[in-house]
Amino acid sequence: MSNTLEVKWAGWDAHERKNSLTAGIGIDHHTSASAAYVGKTGASKTTGSRVYPSLSWDIENEKKGTDFGLGAYYSTEYNYKSLGLDVSFSKKTHGNGELSTRVTSYFDQVKLIYPSEFRTTTTTTTTTNTGASSSGSSYSNESQNAPSTPRKTITGSLTLSQVINQRLQASIMVDGVYQNGYLGLPFHRVYFNDGSDHIENLPSERKKLPIGLRINYFLSDNIVLRSYYRYYTDDWGITAHTASLEIPVKISPFFSISPFYRYYVQTAARYFAPYEVHTAKDVYYTSNYSLSAFNSQFMGAGLRIAPPNGVLHTHLNTLEIRYGHYTQTTSLVSDVLSVNLKFK
């Protein structure tokens, strides 16, 4: 369950620039049955909560056609903490176009919560009233006593948007992503072909290059075709393609329905192998199926109500409800329901 609240203030300064300050906070809560078996006994933590506040400031100069923004983000969960900073700038170009850039950096601390059989043990000695002593071992606390390791992610983004004619708009997006630090999941076991189990081991660097194309075509006054394609590649050997289509249909000036469909396919990382396939010769190894070869589909529809006097004549300006059904060839199935409320 993911809940976010965002409050936005807007005003104009002495130079007639629009200043917007946006503050937000999010709280997520999840359960995961498989997380119980981080400990061999099946008694590990199966729930988690994440809190992530954010603050951003944006200055828009309509006369010069520029926009400058700064943002700060923080996220914390029992096994990691993250601090994010970004700076953005955009400028309108001749012929109804816009060029925008953004640089985002995330600085994370990941707690190394290993599977129970790999944790250090503490030995305790107990003396009885008779003077006899006994000793025993216990695993250290999963979260409190686990050491942390850093991870850094830097992303540079460039987007060129253009209004081609009255019906057609297009944009091209290019991102360059660099990651450094601990990039694996410490609680993921990997079973080798000799039956032994190991902690997932992945390189400490990763470079990613996504390139996207978005085309919006106004089929009529009431129907818009929103298409999107993205090509992705990285130096771990993954190549992926994403294609999506959303068709908002305006039933009335205040009510619309938007069916959507997205298809995704990727190749496997060179370090992936299933259960008991890796060998002792492998330097890097993982059995995390998010790094395997798979394809997925996501489909559903959204409803949007935005009457001029508010929903039922209240300060609720916009009500959006969105449902999506997700399937993946790894046998993962998911249903997503989102509700968006906007007040003025």
Per-residue pLDDT of the chain (344 residues; tens, 9 = 90+): 999 999 999 999 999 999 999 999 999 999 988 888 888 777 778 888 999 999 999 999 999 999 999 999 999 998 889 999 999 999 999 889 999 999 999 999 998 888 888 876 544 443 434 444 333 333 345 555 678 899 999 999 999 999 999 999 999 999 999 999 999 988 889 999 999 999 999 999 999 999 999 999 999 999 999 999 999 999 999 999 999 999 999 999 899 999 999 999 999 999 999 999 999 999 999 999 999 999 999 999 999 999 988 888 888 999 999 999 999 999 999 999 999 999 98
Tokens 């993962």 — which residue? 332
> Is the distance from CB of 161 to CB of 189 less than 8 angstroms?
no
Give the model's pLDDT for residue 94.
85
pLDDT at 95: 84
Q: In whole angstroms, what is the distance from residue 286 CA to residue 71 CA?
A: 34
Q: What is the structure's pLDDT at 262?
A: 98
Cα 166 to Cα 169, 216, 219: the distances in Å are 8, 11, 11
pLDDT of residue 142: 56
Cα first-last separation, the chain: 25
Q: In whole angstroms, give the CA distance from residue 71 to residue 285.
A: 36
> Can you tell me the distance from the alpha carbon of 181 to that of 206, in angstroms, rounded to the nearest whole number?
9
Query: What's the CA dihedral at 321, 326, 332, 334 to 10 degrees?
Result: 10
Q: Note the pTM of the prediction, 2 decimals.
A: 0.87
Radius of gyration of the chain (CA): 25
pLDDT of the residue at 130: 40
Pairwise CA distance, residues 270 & 239, whole Å: 11
Per the structure block, which two tokens stand in for 23?
């503050």
Scanning the chain, the segments in alpha helix (DSSP H) are none
The single-letter code of the amino acid at 262 is R
Residue type, 334: S
Q: Coil, strand, or helix at residue 194?
A: coil
Tokens found for residue 239: 């190549």
**pLDDT score of 36:** 83
CB count in 10 Å sphere of residue 142: 19
Q: What is the pLDDT of residue 43?
A: 74
pLDDT at residue 340, as a whole number = 93
Cα–Cα distance list, 241 to 12, 110, 147, 154 (Å): 42, 29, 37, 22
| DSSP code string of 260-281 | EEEEEEEPPPTTB--TTTB-TT
Q: What region, left, alpha or beta, does residue 214 occupy, with left being phi > 0 and alpha being psi -120 to 50 degrees?
A: beta
Residues whose CB falls within 8 Å of the CB of residue 290, separated by 6 or more in sequence, listed in order = none
Q: Which amino acid is at 111?
A: K
Provide CB contacts within 8 A for 15, sequence distance 6+.
61
